[in-house]
Copies of this chain bind each other. A is one copy, B any other.
Amino acid sequence: MSNPGTLDGVLAPILTPFTNTLTPHVPLFVALARHLMGQGLGLAPFGTTSEGNSLAVAEKVELLDALAKAGLDMGRIMPGTGCCALPDSVELSLRAVKLGCGGVLMLPPFYYKNPSEDGLFASFAEVIERVGDARLRVFLYHFPQQSQIPISHALIERLLAAYPATVVGIKDSSGDLANMESMCGAFPGFKVFAGTERLILPVMRAGGTGCISANANIHGPAMLELWRRWREPGAEALQTKLEGFRAIMEGLPLIAALKALTARRTGDYGWRRVRPPLVALPPEAEIELVERLEKAGIAI
């Protein structure tokens, strides 16, 4: 079972809604957070799916404060706090700790390409030292296709040696199962979240902790069911069943498509808005998507 106050199971990288002037729509955000957590999911706001890097630090603070004010279980929330600029990462991580977040998801600084291992180690170490709070729990964010900055096993090893109580896990969005399995084997107790529901079963079998996948914004309960029952005989079938939704979403601009479906589900048109450089899903693509889901018998 997914436990109160604990970062395990399935976390939804919650979408960020915008008003018609493209500012974050706080009430809609809180409403989606309640909906997702009501389904038993944890939350991972301000990652890639949340358009986290398209938000200013003050906007992320406002949204995170709103989740706390709404009385949600902050121990089940893992905000993204890794920015390009050190003071930004420190400010967000401090706020997350203050609000009782169960952990933070930390991208490496992603502007300078091919950073040295020393430079990456220093990036994480400086944030941890400056936050300077024993309650901080850092999950590294490995997403080489998007950030262009991989998190190597050698780097994890150094961070674990230096900050064993603070650096506690990773979200691996590479899609590379072998990498996840080998981290589960190499670093006992290190919490590995698969960045795609495609790998829930093999990652749990390898000793992983759970899954953080964009599609959880719409299709979370099915993922959670597999996560709860992964040891049972029907697990393979549940994993296969997840492919239906995933395959339909795969060719689409994912964030825009998930927002379009959220607009449909909630009846709130504004959910379709994205911040540039993303663009909203064209109406004809939305209609086709809905038809494909209906044909496959998948409710949103």
Q: Which residues of A contact B (CB under 8 A)?
A: 22, 48, 53-59, 84-88, 91, 108-113, 115-116, 118-120, 122-123, 126, 145-149, 275-279
Q: Please state if B277 and A122 are interface contacts (CB–CB under 8 Å).
A: yes
- Pick the contact of A109: B48, B58, B277 (CB < 8 A): B277
> Which residues on the B side are within 8 Å of A279 (C-beta)?
116, 118-119, 122
Nearest B residue to A24 via CB reads B87
| A-B CB proximity, top 7 nearest | A115-B277, A119-B277, A53-B111, A122-B276, A123-B276, A56-B87, A53-B84
Query: A84, A116, A148 — which one has the most chain B CB atoms within 10 A of its CB?
Result: A84
> Which residues on the B side are within 8 Å of A118 (C-beta)?
279
Q: Please state if B86 and A22 are interface contacts (CB–CB under 8 Å).
A: yes
Query: A123, A146, A148, A276 — which one has the most chain B CB atoms within 10 A of its CB?
Result: A276
Docked CA distance A55–B89 (Å): 11
Q: Please state if A123 and B86 are interface contacts (CB–CB under 8 Å).
A: no
Q: Please state if A84 and B54 are interface contacts (CB–CB under 8 Å).
A: yes
- Pick the contact of A54: B55, B57, B109 (CB < 8 A): B109
